[in-house]
Chains A and B, each alone.
Chain A
Amino acid sequence: MKKANLYSVMFDVFINIILAMVVVVTLYPFLHVVSVSLSDPYAVMQNKVNFYPVGFNLNAYKSVLSNPYIWISYKNTIVYTVVGTAVNLVLTTAMAYSLSKKYLFGRKFFSIFTTFTLFFNGGIIPNYIIISKLGLIDSMWALILPIAIGTWNLMVMRNYFEGLPSEIEESAAIDGCNPVQVLVKIVLPVSKPIFATMTLFYAVWHWNTYFSPLLYLNDKEKYPLQIFMQQILITGETSFANTVVGIEDTNLLISNTVKYATIMVAILPIIMVYPFLQKYFIKGVLIGSVKG
């Protein structure tokens, strides 16, 4: 009996070491980014910054926030996300609701019609040609209309509506509610959880999207945050850091702390709200996994 207990304790220790390692490995990169962003550029250059800020200062954040383009791109991203998510919710809800009804005319056809797009698509170039033919280049709608409905989300939502008891809707219809009233007064109020989930999925999608603005936007004033980030972080367009800081020799070092500060500015909103919203995401994933 004692041996079994010892075994069980060892087992727990082992499991928890693995879990602790997962936490450390996940969080350490973020900790490092925070530390560098708050450090003295010289300390970073000398590789002294690993776990905590060395030569604490906020200069990097001051340079990031004094760049007009981060504000412009932030504003753009918020606009694209809000408008895009609103379009997503209206179109997805309407279509998912219709598809969830067994008596829908041509239901089978419409199911295949939508599901097929999960497995086959035109690809980059035909999409690009269509969007430029529609005159959407350099328009915010190029980022919103082509992803007006996420097929996977549509299926998740349809599953949710299918799971609602049909009696209430039927009795409301008998009581003389027209279909619009049934949808607005009966169905939507009980669908808050799925709306929360969909809003989050779509909003994160818009917030993080990078490739469509890269393809469809040329106007710097219209760039979303992700394009701005890409230019600062990866393309090494350090002229931004140079001009704001204005110290010729230390351009390179300062741009390092500025880059990390930029990362923080971009992910802070997500890190702040994410723990509170997490359970809705998980709900969404689980609803979606109940047979497509």
Chain B
Amino acid sequence: MRAISNLKLYFSNQYKSFKRSRFLLLIMLPGIIYYIIFHYVPMYGLIIAFKDFNIYDGIINSPWTSNYGFKHFLELFNLPIFYRILKNTVLLSLYTILFSFPTPIILALCLNEAKNKLWKNTVQTVSYLPHFISTVVICGMITNFLSLNGLVNNIVSFFGLERIQFLLYPKYFRTIFVISEIWQQTGWNSILYMAALSQVNPELYEACRIDGANRFQQILYINIPSIIPTAIILLIFKIGGIMNVGFEKVLLLYNPNIYETADVIGTYVYRRGILGAEFSFSTAVGLFQSVIGFILVVITNKIAGKVSEVSLW
């Protein structure tokens, strides 16, 4: 009897809550529909990775593949190119993280020491600018700067070295990618560190000075510890995103000569899937990427939560 009345109470509460938020639910309906159509239906569409999709049969009626649906995955794991694109994706991300992670921190620490406000604002404004330039323009600049008559080759020949078509040699690609990434994002990525530094209690500096610390030591013992939580959060995001290397940029910069180092999972999916119309196989490749990426986010978040009590959820 009691259970039933509890149940009744529960449902009447739910009903009240529903009635109270009718208006809210109504206005968020377009948003919900958006998420279903453009996020959850594509996720459902991932099942074509286990099927032999063809346009006439559609997602539902296309036949399942052999090997319990895992044909495309087996095919992928048996391709030598798979190890190349996996390696390129991971390496490109890792190098980008490794070299572009410290630069915003250094910039923020330096900016924090600048005394002249106008100068400080100028540096900030200038350094954020590249962030707003589109990938196409950035890659256009890179391509043209690196061409035989480009800026970089002018510098190279100024030092008496031979002009090189940098974008035709696999060995230069990662360096080009990482340097341009640093150039474009360092300023913008320093914003959060600046915010963290502005939260530091000024009394700490006072105390530190009385203890005889010089300014470098103040940075070492006050500023750096104060930005570590921010740094950890950002690192989690970066590592979680390792599988999603900026593939649009790769797509704009690479050419068959440098597939050896430049071809990543995203570009491979684009070539096989969109250009080659092999929908099922390339979906399987994309799914592999998403799953690994998702696992990485979960793991890094767990680790960060244990280490520093900061985490995403």
Binding site for B on A (CB under 8 A): 4, 7-8, 11-12, 15-16, 18-19, 22-23, 25-27, 29, 32-33, 44-45, 47, 50, 91-92, 94-95, 97-99, 101, 103-105, 110, 113-115, 117, 119-130, 134, 145-149, 154, 178-180, 183, 204, 207-208, 210-211, 215, 226, 229-230, 232-234, 256, 259-260, 262-263, 266-267, 270-271, 274-275, 278, 281-282, 285-286, 289, 292
Q: Among B45, B157, B186, B252, which residue has its beta carbon within 8 angstroms of that of A234?
A: B252
Taken together as a complex, chains A and B put the C-alpha atoms of A47 and B127 apart, in Å, by 28
Nearest CB on B from A157, distance (A): 11
| Residues of chain B contacted by A97 (CB below 8 angstroms) | 24, 27
A85 to chain B, nearest CB (A): 15
Q: Closest CB of chain A to B239's CB: distance in Å?
A: 13
B residues with CB within 8 A of A: 14, 17-18, 20-21, 23-25, 27-28, 30-32, 34-35, 37-39, 41-46, 48, 53, 59, 106-107, 110-111, 113-115, 119, 122-123, 125-130, 132-137, 139-141, 143-145, 149, 151, 154, 157, 183, 186-187, 191-192, 195, 214-216, 240, 248, 251-252, 266, 269-270, 273-274, 279, 282-283, 286-287, 289-290, 293-294, 297, 312-313
Cross-chain contact B39 with A263 (CB below 8 angstroms): no
| B123 touching A22, Cβ below 8 Å | yes
CA distance A77 to B221 in the complex (A): 49
The interface centre, meaning the residue of B14, B24, B122, B294 with most chain A CB atoms within 10 A of its CB, is B24
Residues of A within 8 A of B141 (CB): 29, 33, 263
The residues of A that contact B139 with a CB separation of less than 8 Å are 230, 233-234
Secondary structure class of chain B's binding surface, majority of residues = helix
> Judging by beta carbons under 8 Å apart, are A129 and B294 in contact?
no
Also in contact, A146 and B38, with CB within 8 A (given A12-B113, A22-B107, A23-B127)? yes
Question: CA A263 – CA B102 in complex, angstroms?
Answer: 30
B274 and A210 form a contact (CB under 8 A) = no
Residues of chain B within 8 A of A234, CB atoms compared: 136, 139-140, 143, 252
Q: Would B126 and A27 count as touching, CB distance under 8 A?
A: yes
Residue pair A123, B35 in contact (C-beta under 8 Å): no
Question: Smallest CB–CB gap between A49 and chain B, Å?
Answer: 9
Interface SS of chain A: helix
Partner pick for B21 among A103, A120, A125, CB 8 A cutoff: A103
Contact yes or no, A179 B214, CB < 8 A? no
Contacts of A7 in B (CB 8 A): 214-215
Complex: how many Å from CA A149 to CA B32? 10
Pairwise interchain contact A125-B279, C-beta atoms closer than 8 A: yes
Most buried by B among A26, A145, A207: A26
Establish whether residues A215 and B274, one from each chain, have CB atoms under 8 Å apart when the complex forms.
yes
Across the A-B interface, give the 10 residue pairs with the lowest CB-CB distance, nearest first: A122-B42, A233-B140, A126-B45, A95-B31, A123-B286, A208-B134, A98-B24, A179-B23, A126-B42, A98-B28
Q: Is the CB of B144 within 8 A of A50?
A: no
CB distance from B165 to the nearest CB of A (A): 13
The distance from the CB of B266 to the nearest CB of chain A, in whole angstroms, is 7
Contacts of A117 in B (CB 8 A): 35, 39
